[in-house]
């Protein structure tokens, strides 16, 4: 109902666990890394717990969608089973026939052991993943422990991943299950999102659904966090209802009042402000700057808004500056596929990137990455303590944090800082200096390395930061029907690039002729050809216009 009204291609806050909408907060990224490590290393148990609605199922679906071919998976989604039913289900999940006809449990275990040994000989690894594991009975958990005794002289034949609510931790802490607890090689508890992650989460889902402007105000996002407590499922329900409320009220933005009304409609209790809650809210407002900058190391970016006042014709829509976290419009190719998620690589791929990252770890910090990127722009790095993006703004440049794919990076054609996570969970900031075919050139300080994109998919989550040169005073969102000096500049720039005559009676008005010019440029650059000009189109345009004095990925930095 509201999707067309807000320019969305689909509902952004559906409760189905769609991996495309997975927002990898620092907590979720760590949880996914723990699962990946457990699958690749093998042996014993991996335990992932989290409160209801914190994203465990979506995280699991993302992992399953990216499993390498050499993983033989047995998946149990309803673990309310007795021991025999458990063994039958595992055997059937691993492709064995006639399991239900086995005369006793020993026969099932013998068949399972033979299947696991055969997989090991073929270079495969067997993984048993149990969701809602807090529902497992004690005798079933003990049988799972015994299954981990199936092994060769050097390798456990079955890796077991238990995913469940916090009650699972209580169960596994029982004295009579201490033998099982000692075999858990990795534990991770998935907590709710903090205020900054809540903001980034909402903006990410809106971006995946096609949003090209800010829809929730910053204060509304703080209110979403307060009412949902950082729980993604509650965030989805509240935001979905708030969007419907904004549509019904014909409002262009979701406000704190609409968020509170949405919470009331779904039965959520709205706390009465006390002096303590006011103090807490003041702290949340103080964190608003961090919200606007995104999460993780990107908080250092501190971008500056450079929007100029825009005059609109009657009926035209004039929106705020496209924020970095919501400007991720996808190309036609990207629309069918999500931004890269954490992909378990082949055994041969892990050492390739890991060894290099470990070798250059002393120059993969944020400051070193910015220094490298600024070197490509022939700009001296800032003095100690200076905010890098505020610093470059004084040089006529701008930072932009984006979420996307290799295709988007090619379209923007600007060197970028990527955050890579090695197999041990350590973060590294490196600079992408060239991108051609199936390979990327990375630089960390004075060290460069050419890496296959397939080998990078294991450790790049799709976030990147670019520096670009915006035209002075140019607004960062221009839509059909608008009238501004920015539109006049845009028309002149495209005429210069594309040639031909443009005899508009009002060059400052975004008319249909300009829409077609914009679409042509977007198609040529590999961007989504929607005829609207946001940050991504402006970056690509800036790169083309300043080709002689700005670095580019096609020219190798």
Domain of 235, in residue numbers: 193-292
Closest CA to 12 of 3, 24, 23: 3
Rounded CA gap, 446 and 513, in Å? Answer: 47
Those residues whose C-beta lies under 8 Å from the C-beta of residue 203, and which sit 6 or more positions away, are 211, 216, 323, 325, 326
Residue 19 lies in a domain: no
The domain boundary residue, chosen from 226, 258, 292 = 292
Q: Which phi and psi angles does 112 have, rounded to 5°?
A: -65, -40
Which structure tokens are listed for 530?
Answer: 């929607």
| Same domain, yes or no: 241 and 275 | yes
The domain boundary residue, chosen from 292, 321, 343 = 292
| Same domain, yes or no: 241 and 380 | no
Write down the pTM of the prediction. Answer: 0.45
Residue 12 lies in a domain: no
436 Rama sector, left if φ>0, alpha if ψ -120 to 50, beta otherwise: beta
Rounded CA gap, 273 and 260, in Å? Answer: 13
| Same domain, yes or no: 341 and 244 | no
| Same domain, yes or no: 322 and 403 | yes
Helix (H, G, I), strand (E, B) or coil at 465: strand
| Same domain, yes or no: 306 and 347 | yes
Residue 8 lies in a domain: no
Residue with tokens 């005073």: 473
Rounded CA gap, 225 and 271, in Å? Answer: 12
CATH code for the domain in which residue 482 is found:
3.90.70.10
| Same domain, yes or no: 128 and 222 | no
Instruction: Give me the pLDDT at residue 138, please.
Output: 92
Neighbours of 464 (CB within 10 A): 23
| Same domain, yes or no: 218 and 146 | no
Instruction: Give me the pLDDT at residue 77, please.
Output: 85
In tens digits, the chain (557 residues) has pLDDT values of 688 889 898 999 987 767 678 777 777 777 877 777 777 666 678 888 888 877 787 777 777 777 777 888 888 988 889 999 999 999 999 988 888 888 899 999 999 999 989 888 888 888 889 988 899 999 999 998 888 888 877 778 888 889 988 888 888 888 888 888 888 877 888 888 888 889 989 998 999 898 888 999 988 999 999 999 888 889 999 999 999 999 988 899 999 999 999 998 876 444 433 333 333 433 443 344 333 333 333 333 333 222 222 233 222 222 222 223 333 333 333 333 333 333 333 333 343 688 899 899 999 988 899 999 999 999 988 876 667 887 888 888 988 877 678 888 999 999 999 988 777 767 789 999 999 888 999 999 999 999 998 888 778 877 788 999 888 877 777 888 888 888 999 999 999 999 888 778 889 999 999 999 999 999 999 888 889 888 889 999 988 988 777 898 987 76
Residue 135 lies in a domain: yes
Instruction: Give me the pLDDT at residue 304, please.
Output: 28
| Same domain, yes or no: 437 and 513 | yes
Instruction: Give me the pLDDT at residue 63, please.
Output: 79
CATH code for the domain in which residue 244 is found:
1.10.8.60
Per the structure, the count of domains in the chain is: 3
Rounded CA gap, 205 and 328, in Å? Answer: 10
Residue 9 lies in a domain: no
Which structure tokens are listed for 137?
Answer: 């009975």
Residue 4 lies in a domain: no
Rounded CA gap, 224 and 451, in Å? Answer: 41
Residue 108 lies in a domain: yes
| Same domain, yes or no: 147 and 198 | no
| Same domain, yes or no: 266 and 307 | no
Closest CA to 193 of 257, 242, 130, 236: 236
Q: Are 32 and 40 in contact (CB under 8 A)?
A: no
Closest CA to 188 of 282, 55, 64: 55
| Same domain, yes or no: 220 and 184 | no
The domain boundary residue, chosen from 244, 262, 292 = 292
Residue 14 lies in a domain: no
| Same domain, yes or no: 40 and 80 | yes
For 116-167, strand residue ranges (E) read 125-130, 158-164
Instruction: Give me the pLDDT at residue 403, please.
Output: 67
């Amino acid at each position: 109902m509201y999707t067309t009204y807000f320019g969305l291609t689909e509902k952004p806050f559906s409760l189905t666990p769609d991996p495309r909408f997975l927002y990898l907060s620092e907590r979720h990224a760590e949880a996914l890394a723990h699962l990946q490590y457990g699958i690749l290393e093998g042996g014993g148990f991996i335990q992932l717990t989290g409160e209801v609605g914190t994203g465990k199922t979506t995280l699991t679906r993302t992992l399953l969608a990216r499993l390498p071919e050499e993983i033989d998976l047995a998946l149990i989604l309803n673990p309310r089973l007795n021991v025999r039913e458990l063994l039958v289900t595992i055997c059937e999940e691993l492709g064995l026939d006639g399991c239900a006809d086995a005369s006793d449990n020993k026969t099932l275990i013998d068949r399972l052991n033979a299947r696991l040994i055969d997989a090991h000989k073929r270079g495969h690894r067997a993984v048993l993943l149990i969701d809602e594991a807090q529902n497992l009975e004690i005798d079933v958990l003990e049988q799972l422990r015994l299954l981990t005794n199936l092994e060769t002289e050097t390798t456990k034949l079955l890796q077991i991943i238990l995913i469940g609510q916090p009650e699972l931790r209580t169960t596994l802490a029982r004295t009579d299950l201490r033998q099982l607890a000692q075999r858990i090689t990795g534990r991770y508890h998935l907590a709710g999102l903090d205020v900054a992650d809540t903001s980034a989460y909402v903006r990410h889902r809106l971006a995946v659904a096609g949003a090209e402007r800010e829809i929730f105000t910053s204060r509304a996002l703080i209110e979403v966090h307060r009412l949902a407590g950082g729980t993604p499922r509650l965030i989805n329900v509240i935001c979905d209802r708030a969007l419907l409320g904004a549509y019904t009220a014909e409002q262009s933005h979701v406000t704190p009042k609409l968020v509170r009304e949405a919470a009331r409609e779904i039965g959520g209790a709205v706390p009465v402000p006390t002096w303590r809650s006011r103090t807490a809210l003041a702290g949340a407002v103080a964190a608003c700057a961090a919200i606007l900058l995104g999460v993780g190391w990107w908080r250092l970016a501190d971008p500056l808004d450079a929007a100029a006042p825009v005059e609109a014709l009657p009926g035209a829509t004039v929106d705020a500056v496209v924020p970095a976290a919501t400007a991720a419009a996808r190309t036609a190719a990207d629309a069918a596929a999500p931004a890269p998620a954490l992909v378990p690589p082949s055994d041969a791929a892990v050492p390739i990137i890991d060894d290099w990252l470990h070798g250059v770890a002393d120059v993969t910090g944020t400051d070193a990455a910015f220094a490298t990127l600024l070197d490509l722009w022939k700009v001296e790095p800032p003095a100690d303590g200076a905010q890098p993006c505020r610093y470059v703004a004084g040089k006529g440049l701008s930072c932009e944090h984006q979420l996307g794919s290799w295709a988007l990076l090619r379209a923007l054609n600007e060197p970028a800082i990527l955050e890579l996570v090695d197999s041990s969970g350590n973060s590294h900031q490196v600079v992408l200096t060239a991108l051609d075919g199936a390979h990327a050139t990375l630089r960390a300080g004075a060290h460069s390395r050419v890496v296959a994109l397939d080998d990078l998919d294991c450790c790049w989550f799709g976030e990147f930061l670019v520096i670009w040169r915006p035209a002075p005073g140019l607004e960062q969102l221009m839509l059909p029907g608008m009238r501004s000096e920015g539109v006049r500049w845009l028309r002149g720039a495209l005429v210069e690039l594309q040639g031909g005559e443009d005899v508009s009676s009002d060059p400052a008005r975004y008319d249909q002729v300009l829409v077609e010019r914009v679409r042509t440029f977007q198609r040529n650059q590999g961007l989504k050809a929607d005829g609207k000009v946001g940050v991504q189109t402006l970056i690509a345009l800036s790169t083309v216009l300043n080709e002689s004095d700005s670095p580019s990925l096609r020219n190798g930095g």
